[in-house]
Structure 1
Amino acid sequence: MDFFNRKKGFTLVELLITIALVAVISALAVPSFQTLIKKSRTSVEAQRVLTTLYYARMEAIKRNSLVSLCPSSDGLACNPDLSWMDGWIVFSDRGKRGELDHDMDRVIRVGDPAQNGYLLYTTKHHKWFGYQSDGNSVGSSGSGNTSFIICSPDGGIEGRRVVVSITGRPRVATGIGDRVCDGG
């Protein structure tokens, strides 16, 4: 009968060993999770740019006119002195100059600034970028392939490159093999 009246539980030694094991495993896992979170945030920023480019291209084809993007912090006007990481606007560009003319053009989407200090720039340093009515891309630095580069604030992980072909198709480059945020 003494068998059924025994107290059940852990001894102090068992509890201390378990806590020590959890601490060691956590210490090893936390840096991996931080890297995973940074990579995930970089991918989210790249997808945000990609979605905006797809949207602008679709609108250009649908409207049968030029649709442009430009850096903007207020969502009301283009500012060529700003960086793309400060935010942007997508607008119908009837003047076909890459400049928002409130008499003719209409803002159709506003892009928020890059989150958590992420960097965003183009390889050709475009002050505006757009899509023609046939879906082909054009920018302030002329036509041709261009890339939007997304880098984490610390530059410690690989960035993402959103490549836009001359035909206007945007895509996130995979297997690029270089560290685009180290000037590559």
Structure 2
Amino acid sequence: MKSFCGNNQLMTRHGGFSLVELLVTIAILVILSAVAVPGFQGMMASSSLRAATNDVVAALAQTRSLAIKEGGRVTMCKSANGTACATTGDWEQGWIIFVDSVRNSPWTNASVDTGETVSFYTQALQGNVVVRGNSGASQYVSYSADGLSRQLNGSSLAAATIRVCSTSSAIADNQRARDIAINSTGRVTVTTAASVTSACAAPS
């Protein structure tokens, strides 16, 4: 807008924001960020949870398939280095799959023995995800040549569950965990665990 002042000089209003307009804009951005950021964090956490669950399910299927193909015992165990089974920590540190032709007492932990070769290695998971098994799957999951899940001593595996869980505060407790159950036939089912806190306790 143009106007004339008393001395007949032409005055022009310069473009830009006033201080009030700038403060209003900043306030709106702060409000939008407060609404959008938690939603984005929840989306990312859910994506990591879904990816990790798919990784574990795929690894179990791979282990079972290899056992049938090789006609012998194949084991999947926790592993941080890709060469040996870990006896501490949880599954999120990574895991290996190997043809387990030699199994020695005690039967509590799997091991890659002389002459055995690691077939597959999955590195540590990312995205605030923890993976914990109950007593039947805290250290390893093993399949025999007929595709049945077995303990290292040859006994049938009654029941085993591996829980994939997000520690993110952006996910509700009734959505933060997936339980992967393995029955004695080797069949795998995935369910959403109810009321799991961010501590992500192992399944019972």
TM bracket (short chain): 0.7 to 0.9
Cα pair 2:149 2:156 within 8 Å, conserved: no
> What are the ranges of 5 or more consecutive residues in structure 2 without an aligned counterpart?
1-14, 105-109
Aligned-residue CA RMSD (Å):
3.0
Give 4+ residue runs of structure 1 displaced > 6 Å after superposition: 9-19
Of 109, 112, 125, which aligns to 2:120? 109
Q: What is the CA deviation profile of residues 110-146 of structure 1, one whole-angstrom value per residue up to 9, with x for unaligned ones?
A: 1211213422110115322111111111235961221
- Change in 2 beyond 3 A, CA 1:63/1:30: same
Cα pair 2:53 2:164 within 8 Å, conserved: yes
Give, as a single letter, the amino acid of the residue that structure 2 aligns with 1:106: T
Give, as a single letter, the amino acid of the residue that structure 2 aligns with 1:179: V
Of 169, 181, 187, which aligns to 1:163? 181
Give, as a single letter, the amino acid of the residue that structure 2 aligns with 1:127: Q
Q: What is the CA deviation profile of residues 90-124 of structure 1, one whole-angstrom value per residue up to 9, with x for unaligned ones?
A: 00011245321132x22100121121342211011
1:179 is aligned to 196
- 1:26 matched to 2:33? The reply is yes
- Change in 2 beyond 3 A, CA 1:169/1:32: same
- Which has the larger share of helix? 1
Range 107-116 or range 117-126, more displaced: 117-126
1:71 is aligned to 78
Residue 149 of structure 1, CA deviation: 1.0
* TM-score where L is the length of structure 2: 0.71
CA separation in 2, counterparts of 1:96 and 1:51? 24
2:67 is aligned to 60
CA separation in 2, counterparts of 1:76 and 1:50? 21
CA separation in 2, counterparts of 1:183 and 1:77? 23
* TM-score where L is the length of structure 1: 0.78
Range 47-56 or range 92-101, more displaced: 92-101
- 1:99 matched to 2:116? The reply is no
> What are the ranges of 5 or more consecutive residues in structure 1 without an aligned counterpart?
1-8
- Change in 2 beyond 3 A, CA 1:53/1:183: closer
Cα pair 1:126 1:139 within 8 Å, conserved: no
Cα pair 1:66 1:96 within 8 Å, conserved: no
- Change in 2 beyond 3 A, CA 1:83/1:139: farther
Report SS of the residue matched to 1:85. Answer: helix
Report SS of the residue matched to 1:121. Answer: strand
Residue 45 of structure 1, CA deviation: 1.0
Give, as a single letter, the amino acid of the residue that structure 1 aligns with 2:138: H
- 1:128 matched to 2:140? The reply is yes
- Change in 2 beyond 3 A, CA 1:183/1:111: closer
Cα pair 2:164 2:178 within 8 Å, conserved: yes
What fraction of aligned residue pairs are identical, expressed as a percent?
29
- 1:148 matched to 2:155? The reply is no
- Change in 2 beyond 3 A, CA 1:131/1:23: same
1:4 is aligned to none
